[in-house]
């Protein structure tokens, strides 16, 4: 079953002004579509891998045959990361807030929501070139902030510096912000909080902490 480009649950202009419609259309319709197409191409004829979810492909990527390892790392990572990213955003004012349980975990790990936001922004700003900044649930159930280059993600054993289940992630590739913000990554990261879908982050936090206990 080939992987497919997911539909958005909102219009491509629904995240303005934080993220503009042209960026959304190119980001999903061109960049994400290329990851999906190239992932499917890499997996052609790989019957033994056909049953694997995108999460499993990411987790096992370093064990895959050499001929497809690089393509699955880049394009499978790109597909997982972007599929999650679209769900993590929603129109401003509709995203709710961190749940009581997530708030307690954030306060425990980072002392406050503002301190967490500062750490995530710092991780995104320090990522040289292209990549992602993440909030993850680690194997012991605690929260952490980490960053990965390119389309790597914290699911990738043998690749990511810090492993965990991502429950929030922000794309800091220039293609995510350059049309509207040009070089101002910090402004993009600051505005991005206005469109975070905390309902989705809460759902992912509950799923991740339930499965790791």
Query: Given the complex with Mn ion, which of 17 and 29 has the nearer CB atom?
Result: 29
- What is the closest distance, in whole angstroms, from the C-beta atom of residue 70 to Mn ion in the complex? 18
Query: Could you tell me which residues come within 8 angstroms of residue 186 by beta carbon, excluding any fewer than 6 positions away?
Result: 121, 125
Query: Given the complex with Mn ion, which of 131 and 164 has the nearer CB atom?
Result: 131
d(CA 135, CA 165): 8
Query: Given the complex with Mn ion, which of 173 and 205 has the nearer CB atom?
Result: 173
Which residues of the chain form contacts with Mn ion (CB under 5 A)? Answer: 171, 173
- What is the closest distance, in whole angstroms, from the C-beta atom of residue 82 to Mn ion in the complex? 6
- What is the closest distance, in whole angstroms, from the C-beta atom of residue 130 to Mn ion in the complex? 8
Task: Give the tokens for residue 22.
Answer: 């042209």
Query: Given the complex with Mn ion, which of 33 and 138 has the nearer CB atom?
Result: 33
d(CA 15, CA 6): 17
d(CA 152, CA 136): 14
- What is the closest distance, in whole angstroms, from the C-beta atom of residue 168 to Mn ion in the complex? 15
Q: Where are the beta strands (DSSP E) in the chain?
A: 131-137, 143-149, 165-171
Residue from 202, 171, 205, 199 nearest 10 by CA: 199
């Amino acid at each position: 079953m080939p992987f497919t480009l997911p539909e958005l649950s909102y219009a491509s202009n629904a995240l303005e002004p934080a993220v503009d419609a042209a960026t959304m259309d190119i980001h999903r319709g061109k960049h994400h579509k290329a990851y999906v197409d190239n992932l499917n191409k890499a997996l052609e004829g790989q019957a033994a891998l056909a049953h694997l979810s995108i999460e499993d492909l990411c987790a096992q990527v370093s064990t895959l045959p050499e001929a497809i390892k690089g393509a699955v790392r880049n394009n499978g990572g790109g597909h997982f990361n972007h599929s999650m990213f679209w769900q993590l955003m929603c129109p401003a004012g509709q995203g709710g807030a961190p749940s009581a349980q997530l708030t307690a975990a954030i306060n425990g790990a980072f002392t406050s929501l503002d301190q967490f936001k500062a750490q995530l922004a710092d991780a995104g700003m320090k990522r040289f070139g292209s990549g992602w900044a993440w909030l993850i649930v680690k194997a012991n159930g605690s929260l952490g902030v980490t960053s990965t280059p390119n389309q790597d993600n914290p699911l990738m054993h043998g690749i990511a510096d810090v492993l965990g289940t991502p429950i929030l992630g922000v794309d800091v590739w220039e293609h995510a912000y350059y049309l509207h913000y040009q070089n101002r990554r910090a402004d993009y990261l600051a505005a991005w909080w206005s469109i975070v879908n905390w309902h989705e982050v809460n759902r992912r936090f509950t799923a991740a902490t339930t499965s790791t206990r």
